[in-house]
Amino acid sequence: MFQDVSQRADRATVSITIDGVIHQVPEGYTVAAALLATGRNASRSTLVSGQSRGPYCLMGVCYECLVEVDGIPNRQGCMTEVRDGMAIRRQQGVGVVGQATEQQEVGDGR
Amino acid sequence: MDADLAIVGAGPAGMAAAVQARQLGLSVVLLDEQPRAGGQIYRNIERPALRDRAILGPDYYAGAQLAEAFRDSGCRHISGATVWQITPEGQLFYSSEGASASLNCRHVLIASGAQERPMPIPGWTLPGVMTAGAAQILLKNPGLAAQDAVFAGSGPLLYLIVWQYLQAGIRVKAVLDTMPAGNYRSALRQLGGALRGRHYLIKGLKLFREIKRAGIPFIRGVTELEALGDSGSGVSQVRYRAKGRQALIDTRQLFLHQGVVPNVNLAMASGCEHRWNDRQLCWTPKLDPWGQSSQSHISIAGDGSGIGGAVAAALRGRLAVQQIACLLGRQTAAQRDASSRQWRRQLQRELAFRPFLDTLYRPTEPFRKPVREEVMVCRCEEVTLGDIRAAAAQGCMGPNQLKSFTRCGMGPCQGRQCGLTVSELMAELNQQPVEDSGYYRLRAPVKPLNLGELATLADPAATIDQETANEH
Ligand SMILES: Cc1cc2nc3c(=O)[nH]c(=O)nc-3n(C[C@H](O)[C@H](O)[C@H](O)COP(=O)(O)OP(=O)(O)OC[C@H]3O[C@@H](n4cnc5c(N)ncnc54)[C@H](O)[C@@H]3O)c2cc1C
Ligand code: FES
């Protein structure tokens, strides 16, 4: 479990929800950091086998941190900073299918 | 024309290049997908998250000066912007906050840096298994660390991050070092270069001494690694083999690392030719001494042009700009050469140390090419080593064909986490040199976009409002 070592108790916080649960996290957290700091090591489950996956690289290269942010799926949690009132949902299995297909039509690197 | 020069990446290479280009009178726009300047080494340097500066150490805070010079340079900085295409005409497309836009520039400098080399061990897809770089990223912003983690792999960056964890007062469960003892002997042949970089050696040795003094288990000669656990709750144990003996360690957090490799997707998709670099075991762009790529309007600098470290990255950024200013008619070749001489000497000194590091920390084959059939090679599409072997047995000739056989490399990361593994695996399976086996053929967009983002390009009213884009 990740803990805060910043020694900055003075940081302003914002209020977000993760899968409907309200959390206060300091400003400047990425969505992926917010998941980890609240004890969630998984951000999504895979299309093919339904395995859980969690943030892996935190720098935008692995796409394991894809989450739904304010209703928009497939946002990179490690590249998105939290905002007051943000609603984050971890992406579950089949919920992803339609979006992933749409993504692959335009961006699969073929 | 929006600017003379567009730079992709606000790490040391991109920032130094921007400052230099402004001094030479060029109009410059720099784009980076991070919310703030700094790149990897100086991530978040303008708003450090940690009160205690001893944790990250002076090499991190040294970046503040460059970031400030960049801020004051008059370069237009578009942050939070992912560049996904550079056309042959010099048009550059990017997306920001879910909308896409484009810029026209006379020349583009790609300074997109490095990523960590994939380390496909059994269980590396379990939640709780991350890269060591990810551990450091969380320290730099927002200041998070995990107690009782295991760090596994090798390389200077791994030891630096372990040291930073210890500075933060975080307990480290163990370091599992995969560097084979034999690498010492081969590296000694590069001793001449090593001595030219002795200040780095001295720093490295000091770091090792302090890690030792902390008394954490430091296990050398690790030849096998496996993360155990279940997909629901994540990693719970690490199994390793060292000196022929197997052992288990309980942990909820495993950080892997075996060096960094150039980020090649944007350059490759823009048509820049690349070669297999056997010393650094990665693809590097074909460049002239000024960083000019095989595309006349694209130069490449920094770790994206071959791993050289932060100091070399900044020098390469400046040198590339000297030539770009010359190409754009802002200075003569004689002026270019006169201002570059000293940087070139410094760069040679910096790079002299690399062969020693590359040889010493050359990752061994079993950690580059998995051995067990069930190991996931392509994380996105869940393609295992067994699937790849089966495809080769059915006549699959190379990485690009492997996509149609297995979908390997076709997920959202576009091969960033499997490409190097697949290059080496396919070469081995088809008994070819890696250079001939090749890499995935990459096309723009280099990051997945949804249709809505593309629609903003077609509908100017929906395009990013230049005033409201995250500019500084
Ligand atoms: C996770 C990580 C941590 C590291 N930490 C250290 C360290 O502590 N000390 C050290 O000496 N070395 C470190 N390194 C090594 C590092 O590569 C170099 O030291 C240095 O950062 C290289 O500088 P650069 O300017 O070439 O690239 P970088 O500093 O990597 O900067 C590249 C920038 O380009 C941006 N970018 C990439 N692609 C795009 C795109 N398509 N669109 C928009 N922006 C893009 C990235 O967001 C990034 O900010 C680290 C490397 C990694 C991967
Ligand atoms: S954690 Fe790898 S892309 Fe976000």
Helices (H), chain A: 31-37, 97-107
Closest ligand 2 atom to residue A66 Cα is 4
Asked whether the beta carbons of B402 and B391 are under 8 A apart, the reply is yes
Residues 218-237 of B with CB under 8 A from A: 231-232, 234
Tokens found for residue A24: 């206060």
Cβ-based contacts of A33 with chain B (< 8 Å): 138, 141-142, 144
Ligand 1 lined by B359 (C-beta under 6 Å) = no
CA dihedral B288, B289, B292, B296 (to 10 degrees): -50
Residues B110 and B130 in one domain: no
Asked whether the beta carbons of B300 and B276 are under 8 A apart, the reply is no
Enumerate long-range contacts of B56-62, CB under 8 Å, 24 or more apart: B56/B139, B56/B140, B56/B164, B56/B167, B57/B163, B57/B164, B57/B167, B59/B310, B60/B140
pLDDT at A93 (0 to 100): 53
**Interface membership of B458 toward A (CB under 8 Å):** no
Backbone phi and psi for residue A54, each to the nearest 5 degrees, phi listed first: -125, 170
pLDDT at B467 (0 to 100): 37
Residues B134 and B231 in one domain: yes
| Chosen domain end from B240, B258, B276 | B258
One-letter amino acid for residue B416 of the chain: R
Question: How far apart are the C-alpha atoms of B209 and B46, rounded to whole Å?
Answer: 31
How many domains are contained in chain B?
3
CA angle A32, A34, A36 (to 5 degrees): 70
The residue among B128 and B471 whose pLDDT is bigger is B128
Question: How far apart are the C-alpha atoms of B420 and B118, rounded to whole Å?
Answer: 8
pLDDT at B461 (0 to 100): 52
The answer to whether the CB atoms of A30 and B142 lie below 8 A apart is: yes
Token pair 């503040």: residue = B64
Pocket test for ligand 1, best of B40, B95, B200 (most atoms within 8 A of CB): B40
Three-class DSSP category at B274: strand
- A-B interface: how many C-beta pairs under 8 angstroms? 169
Residues B85 and B142 in one domain: no
Structural domain boundaries in chain A: 13-95
Residues B93 and B129 in one domain: no
Sign of CA dihedral B47, A32, B249, B260: negative
pLDDT per residue over B375-429, tens digit each? 999 999 999 999 999 999 999 999 999 999 999 999 999 999 999 999 999 999 9
Tokens found for residue B248: 């288990």
Residues B152 and B254 in one domain: yes
Cβ-based contacts of B382 with chain A (< 8 Å): 46, 48-49, 51
| Average pLDDT estimate for B4-20 | 98
Residues B76 and B90 in one domain: yes
Tokens found for residue B252: 């909820």
Residues B196 and B225 in one domain: yes
Range of the domain at B184: 118-258
Q: In CATH, what is the architecture of A13-95?
A: Roll (3.10)
**pLDDT, averaged across chain B:** 95
pLDDT per residue over A18-66, tens digit each? 999 999 999 999 999 999 999 999 999 988 888 999 999 999 999 999 9
Residue B191 — pLDDT band, cuts 50, 70, 90?
Answer: confident
Residues B144 and B216 in one domain: yes
pLDDT at A110 (0 to 100): 25
| Chosen domain end from B258, B274, B309 | B258
Q: The CATH number of the domain where B206 resides is what?
A: 3.50.50.60
Tokens found for residue B300: 């490449």
ipTM: 0.94
pLDDT per residue over B59-110, tens digit each? 999 999 999 999 999 999 999 999 999 999 999 999 998 889 999 999 999 9
Residues B109 and B126 in one domain: no
Asked whether the beta carbons of B18 and B120 are under 8 A apart, the reply is no
The answer to whether the CB atoms of A54 and B131 lie below 8 A apart is: no
The answer to whether the CB atoms of B382 and A46 lie below 8 A apart is: yes
Share of chain B above pLDDT 90, in %: 90
Is residue B446 one of the residues assigned to a domain?
no
Is residue B254 one of the residues assigned to a domain?
yes
pLDDT at B459 (0 to 100): 63
Tokens found for residue B331: 């200075």
Is residue B359 one of the residues assigned to a domain?
no
Residue B470 — pLDDT band, cuts 50, 70, 90?
Answer: very low
Question: How far apart are the C-alpha atoms of A60 and A56, rounded to whole Å?
Answer: 9
Mutate which: A13, A63, A74, vs B, most B CBs within 10 A:
A63
Ligand 1 lined by B13 (C-beta under 6 Å) = yes
Question: Which residues, in sequence order, are CB contacts of B37 under 8 Å at separation 6+?
Answer: B10, B15, B45, B46, B67, B70, B71, B77, B79
Is residue B354 one of the residues assigned to a domain?
no
pLDDT at B449 (0 to 100): 85
Is residue B183 one of the residues assigned to a domain?
yes
Ligand 2 pocket (Cβ < 6 Å) reads A 32, 55-58, 60-65, 76-78
| Chosen domain end from B237, B258, B279 | B258
pLDDT per residue over B275-294, tens digit each? 999 999 999 999 999 999 99
Residues B198 and B126 in one domain: yes
Residues B296 and B233 in one domain: no
Residue B460 — pLDDT band, cuts 50, 70, 90?
Answer: low
